[in-house]
C-alpha cells in the first residue's frame, strides 16, 4: 500500500494528535485495562492529560487477549480518527513458556532451535494481543560483570549476527502482514550498550568508530537485513553523546547509510535522561535533540507531548519532522493489519489452547538441554540410576529457574530440579537438603547437608545466582558464587564423596571454589520453564550435553574483559607458563580464561584430523573449501560443534588472533567419521581500515578448525588480489 492514504490521514490530524502518537504509555493510562487509573509513583508525576492517552500511539506492557481487545475497543470508540493502538512488550526469551535466557540459547549453537523459540514466543504473544516484542537484544558482551550479558548471545560479532537473523525470522515469519501469529521485532540497544565501562549498567561507552563498526554494529545490521521492523535506542553515551540524541548514529548511520525506514523507539525514559547525562538542558531541549536524531516514539516520559508543539511554534524544527515520525508509526500499524483488524491475532479461545501448551514446553526443554554446557567431568557423569543421591543446595527445590525478563512466565509452573530427579529415580534413592540460602548459611543448614551427604553415594549441588543478581541493573563486581555457597561446598568436601555442581546463573562466573572442589560442573544457566527436567535428562544420560560457551569464563575478574578475538600486543606472552618478565602478562594469574569461547564437553569424545584446503590461495570470486575429518571416538552418539577460525597475519590495522568465520553442529555416531567442509571467501576476510573502508588485504592468513577457540588445528593460506 502506498504512503498516500497515510499522508492523507496525517493531514487530517491536529498537531496535538500527531505528537500524541509519539508517546508510549503503560496500561494504567488506558480505559479497558484491568489496572486502569492506577497511576502512582513516577507515573503520577508525568502530567498526562486524558486527551494525550486518547490519541497516543502505543501501549507498553499490556497482555492477554481480553485485556488488549478491551483496551483497543475503548480506545477506538473515543479516538476521533479511529487510529488503533500498538501493543508492545518485553518478550525476551518466551512469553508464558519460558526458554533459556538468550546467553544460554547462544550456547546451543543451534540457529533452528533459536528461531523456533522466537516463533513460539511470537505465537503466544500474538494470540494474547501483543504486536511488538522488544527483542532481539544483540549487544555484543565481553564483560560478565554487566548484568545484561544474559540477554546477549555472547562475545562474537559473527555468531551474534547469525542469532540476530534467526530471532527476527522466528518473531516475524515470512509474511508479517498476513500471518497474525507473528509479531514485529525490535532490535536493541542501538548502539554498543554492551560495552559499559566497569561492566556497570547505563555507564559510559567510549570506543573508536572502527571498533564500533567491526565488532558492535554487525549484529544490529544483520537484524535489519533480516527485516526487523523497529530499533530501540541505548541508554549509554557514544562518542560523548547519548545514543537517544545522537544524530550521527541515528540519522546519518542508521537512517542514512543503512537506509532504515522503520520505527525507532527510545528505551524507558531515555529521552528525558539526556538531562542527567548533561547533554540536554531541560525536557524541552531533550525533546528537540531526540526528535532531530530521528527517535519516533518516546517511552514513558513526556518531553515530546509537553514541548514538541512549542518547539515547532518557535521554529526550532519543522513540523515535517513530526509528520515523518507519525508516518512511520502508521505504516507499521498498516503492516500489522491493525486498520483492517484492530485486535489482530488476539483470541481468547486460541489463547487457552496455545499458551504454555505441552508442545511449547517440550520445545523449551529441548533448548534447555542443548543450551547447557558441561564444563568438567571426571568420569562421574552420567549418573547411574541405582545410586543414592544427595541433592543439596539453594536451587535444589527453588523455583527461580526462569531468569530475568521472563514477564508472563510463572515460577510456580517451572519444573524444579528436585522434580526432575524424582522423575528419574525411586524416591528412596533421593535425599534433599537446602544446605544454604543463596547468600546466607547457618550451622544448622550445614549440619543437615552433611547428614544428607553421609547417606548418599554421590552429591549433586544445585547452586547459582538469584535472578535479581542478573539482568538489567544486576551488575556485580565480584562474579564468584556467593560466599555462603562456597562455604557449603567446602563443608561437604570433607565427606569425600563424588560431587557434581549444577549452576543456575545469568553470566560467566569466576568458578574458583567450585571447579577445583567438584568432580563435574554443568552450566545450566537460567534454563526456563522446563529447567529441572532438562537438567535431570543430562545428569542421568538421557541426553548428551552439546552446549558450547559463547562467552569466555574468566580465570579471575581481574582479567575482565577477557575474550578470544583479542589482539596480540607488541610483547606477547610466548606460552602460558613462560617465565619472561617484560611481556604482556599478569604476575599472579594466567592471561587465558578458565574456559575459552566455544568450549564444552560431551559424554563422548571427538578427534579431529588434519585441516586441509582445496587451494592454498583465496582470490576475489574464487573461494576455497576448508575441510577436516571429525571422528566420534567414544561409545555413544553425540553432537559436536566444529568451529572455523581465521587469522589475518598482517593488516593495515592489527587483526584479532582468531575470528570465527563458520561453524557446524553435527550428530556423529560412535565410531563414525564425518568430513566437514567450510567455504571461505575473500569477502569473509574484509575488515574496517583506518579510513573506515571495508576491504581485505592481500597476504598471509591462517585457517583453524577445532572444538573451541583454543583447541584447534591450523593450516596457512594466502589471499591474492
What's the rounded Cα separation, in Å, for the pair 69 and 178? 19
Q: Note the Cα 26 to chain centre separation in Å.
A: 24
Question: Quick check: helix, strand or coil at residue 59?
Answer: strand
The sheet that has 659-668: what strands, in order across it? 617-618, 712-719, 699-706, 638-648, 659-668
| Chain center to CA of 493 | 35
Our answer to whether residue 648 is catalytic in this structure is no
Alpha-carbon gap, residue 64 to 494, rounded angstroms = 52
Please answer whether residues 449 and 492 qualify as being in contact, where contact means their C-beta atoms are separated by less than 8 angstroms.
Answer: yes
What b/e string do you get for 441-460 counting C-beta neighbours within 10 Å, with b at 16 or more? beeebbebbbebbeebebbb
- Check residue 708 and give left, alpha or beta (phi > 0: left; psi -120 to 50: alpha): beta
Q: Quick check: 453 and 460 in contact, CB under 8 A?
A: no
Q: Given this model, what pLDDT does residue 262 score?
A: 98
What backbone torsions phi and psi does residue 548 show, to the nearest 5 degrees? -135, 140
Give dist(CA 150, CA 170) in Å, integer.
20
pLDDT digits (tens, 9 = 90+) for 115-124: 999 999 999 9
DSSP H helices, 472-529, are 483-493
CA distances 649 to 119, 585, 611, 655, Å, are 41, 22, 18, 7
Rg (CA), the chain: 26
Alpha-carbon gap, residue 625 to 613, rounded angstroms: 6
pLDDT at residue 678, as a whole number: 98
- For 182, residues 6+ apart whose C-beta sits below 8 A from its C-beta are 119, 122, 123, 126, 171, 172, 173, 176
Write down the pLDDT at residue 3.
Answer: 57
Report how far residue 241's alpha carbon sits from residue 229's, in angstroms, rounded to the nearest whole number. Answer: 25
Which residues, 6 or more positions from 608, have their beta carbon under 8 angstroms from its beta carbon? Answer: 628, 629, 630, 642, 705, 706, 707, 713
pLDDT at 278: 98
Give the orientation angle of helix 218-225 with respect to helix 157-172, to 10 degrees: 30
Cβ–Cβ < 8 Å for 689, 695: yes
Query: And the C-alpha cell for 456?
Result: 548418599
Q: Identify the CA nearest to 559 among candidates 582, 591, 530.
A: 591
Joined together, the cell numbers standing for residue 568 give 596480540
Query: pLDDT value at position 456?
Result: 98
pLDDT at 580: 82
Contacts of residue 552, Cβ cutoff 8 Å, sequence gap at least 6: 155, 508, 562, 563, 564, 593, 595, 596, 597
- CB-side exposure of 447: number of CA atoms within 13 Å? 3
Residue 116 is classified by DSSP as H
Catalytic residue, candidates 110, 139, 267, 697: 267
**What beta strand segments (E) does 405-484 contain?**
430-433, 458-464
Whether this model's pTM surpasses 0.95: yes
pLDDT under 70: residue ranges of the chain: 1-4, 34-43
- Identify each DSSP E strand in 93-250 by its residue range: 132-133, 184-190, 230-233, 237-238, 241-242
Distance CA 210, CA 697 (A): 16
From the list 602, 717, 597, the residue with the least C-alpha distance to 648 is 717
What whole-number distance in Å separates Cα of residue 634 and Cα of residue 603? Answer: 8
Show Cβ contacts of residue 252 under 8 Å, excluding neighbours closer than 6 positions.
none
Residue 1 is predicted with a pLDDT of 41
The 3-class SS string of 464-477 reads ECCHHHCCCCCCCC
DSSP 564: S
2: buried, middle or exposed (CB in 10 Å: 19+, 13-18, 0-12)?
exposed
Q: Which three cell numbers stand for residue 299?
A: 517511552
594, three cell numbers = 578458565
Residue 146 vs residues 11, 342, 559: alpha-carbon distances, Å = 46, 39, 14
Amino acid at each position: 500500500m502506498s504512503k498516500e492514504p497515510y499522508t492523507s490521514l496525517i493531514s487530517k490530524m491536529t498537531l496535538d494528535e500527531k505528537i500524541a502518537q509519539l508517546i508510549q504509555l503503560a496500561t494504567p493510562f488506558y480505559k479497558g485495562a484491568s489496572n486502569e487509573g492506577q497511576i502512582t509513583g513516577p507515573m503520577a508525576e508525568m502530567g498526562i492529560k486524558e486527551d494525550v492517552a486518547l490519541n497516543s500511539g502505543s501501549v507498553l506492557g499490556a497482555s492477554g487477549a481480553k485485556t488488549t481487545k478491551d483496551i483497543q475497543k475503548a480506545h477506538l470508540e473515543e479516538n476521533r480518527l479511529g487510529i488503533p493502538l500498538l501493543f508492545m512488550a518485553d518478550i525476551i526469551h518466551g512469553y508464558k513458556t519460558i526458554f533459556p535466557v538468550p546467553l544460554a540459547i547462544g550456547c546451543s549453537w543451534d540457529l533452528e532451535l533459536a528461531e523456533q523459540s522466537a516463533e513460539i514466543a511470537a505465537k503466544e504473544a500474538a494470540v494474547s494481543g501483543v504486536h511488538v516484542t522488544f527483542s532481539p537484544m544483540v549487544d555484543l558482551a565481553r564483560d560478565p560483570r554487566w548484568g545484561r550479558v544474559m540477554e546477549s548471545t555472547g562475545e562474537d560479532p559473527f555468531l551474534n549476527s547469525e542469532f540476530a537473523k534467526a530471532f527476527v525470522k522466528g518473531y516475524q515469519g515470512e509474511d508479517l502482514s498476513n500471518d497474525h501469529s507473528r509479531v514485529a521485532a525490535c532490535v536493541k540497544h542501538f548502539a554498543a550498550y554492551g560495552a559499559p565501562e566497569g561492566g556497570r549498567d547505563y555507564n559510559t561507552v567510549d570506543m573508536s568508530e572502527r571498533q564500533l563498526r567491526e565488532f558492535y554494529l554487525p549484529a544490529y545490521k544483520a537484524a535489519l537485513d533480516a527485516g526487523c521492523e523497529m530499533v530501540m535506542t541505548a541508554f549509554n553515551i557514544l562518542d560523548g553523546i547519548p545514543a537517544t540524541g545522537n544524530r550521527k548514529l541515528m540519522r546519518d548511520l542508521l537512517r542514512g547509510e543503512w537506509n532504515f525506514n522503520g520505527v525507532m523507539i527510545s528505551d524507558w525514559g531515555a529521552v528525558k535522561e539526556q538531562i542527567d547525562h548533561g547533554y540536554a538542558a531541560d525536557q524541552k531541549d531533550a525533546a528537540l535533540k531526540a526528535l532531530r536524531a530521528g527517535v519516533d516514539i518516546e517511552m514513558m516520559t513526556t518531553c515530546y507531548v509537553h514541548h514538541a508543539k512549542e518547539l515547532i511554534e518557535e521554529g526550532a524544527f519543522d513540523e515535517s519532522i513530526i509528520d515523518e515520525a507519525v508516518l512511520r508509526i502508521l505504516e507499521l500499524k498498516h503492516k500489522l493489519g491493525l486498520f483492517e483488524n484492530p485486535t489482530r491475532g488476539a483470541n481468547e479461545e486460541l489463547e487457552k489452547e496455545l499458551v504454555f501448551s505441552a508442545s511449547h514446553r517440550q520445545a523449551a526443554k529441548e533448548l534447555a538441554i542443548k543450551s547447557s554446557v558441561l564444563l568438567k567431568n571426571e568420569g562421574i557423569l552420567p549418573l547411574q540410576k541405582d545410586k543414592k543421591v544427595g541433592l543439596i543446595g539453594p536451587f535444589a527445590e527453588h523455583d527461580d529457574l526462569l531468569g530475568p525478563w521472563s514477564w508472563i512466565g510463572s515460577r510456580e509452573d517451572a519444573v524444579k530440579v528436585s522434580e526432575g530427579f524424582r522423575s528419574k529415580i525411586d524416591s528412596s534413592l533421593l535425599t534433599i537438603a537446602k544446605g544454604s540460602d543463596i547468600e546466607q548459611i547457618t550451622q544448622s543448614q550445614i549440619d543437615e547437608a552433611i547428614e544428607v551427604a553421609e547417606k548418599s553415594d554421590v552429591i549433586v549441588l544445585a547452586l547459582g545466582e538469584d535472578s535479581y543478581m542478573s539482568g538489567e541493573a544486576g551488575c556485580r563486581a565480584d562474579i564468584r558464587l556467593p560466599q555462603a555457597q562456597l562455604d557449603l561446598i567446602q563443608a561437604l568436601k570433607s565427606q569425600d564423596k563424588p560431587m557434581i555442581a549444577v549452576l543456575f546463573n545469568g553470566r560467566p562466573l569466576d568458578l574458583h571454589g567450585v571447579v577445583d572442589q567438584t568432580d563435574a560442573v554443568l552450566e545450566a544457566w537460567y534454563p526456563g520453564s522446563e529447567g529441572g527436567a532438562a537438567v535431570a535428562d543430562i545428569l542421568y544420560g538421557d541426553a548428551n550435553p552439546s552446549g558450547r560457551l559463547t562467552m569466555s569464563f574468566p580465570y579471575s575478574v581481574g582479567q575482565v574483559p577477557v575474550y578470544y578475538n583479542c589482539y596480540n600486543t607488541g610483547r606477547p606472552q610466548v606460552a602460558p607458563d613462560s617465565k619472561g618478565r617484560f611481556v604482556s602478562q599478569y604476575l599472579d594469574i594466567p592471561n587465558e580464561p578458565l574456559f575459552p569461547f566455544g568450549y564444552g564437553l560431551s559424554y563422548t569424545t571427538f578427534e579431529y584430523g588434519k585441516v586441509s584446503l582445496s587451494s592454498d590461495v583465496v582470490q576475489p570470486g574464487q573461494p576455497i573449501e576448508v575441510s577436516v575429518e571429525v571422528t566420534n571416538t567414544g561409545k555413544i552418539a553425540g553432537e559436536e560443534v566444529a568451529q572455523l577460525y581465521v587469522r589475518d597475519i598482517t593488516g593495515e590495522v592489527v587483526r584479532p588472533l582468531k575470528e570465527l568465520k563458520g561453524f557446524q553442529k553435527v550428530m556423529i555416531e560412535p565410531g563414525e567419521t564425518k568430513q566437514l567442509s567450510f567455504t571461505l571467501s575473500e569477502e569473509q576476510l574484509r575488515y574496517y581500515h583506518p579510513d573506515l573502508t571495508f576491504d581485505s588485504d592481500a597476504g598471509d592468513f591462517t585457517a583453524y578448525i577445532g572444538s573451541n577457540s583454543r583447541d584447534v588445528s591450523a593450516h596457512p593460506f594466502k589471499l591474492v588480489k
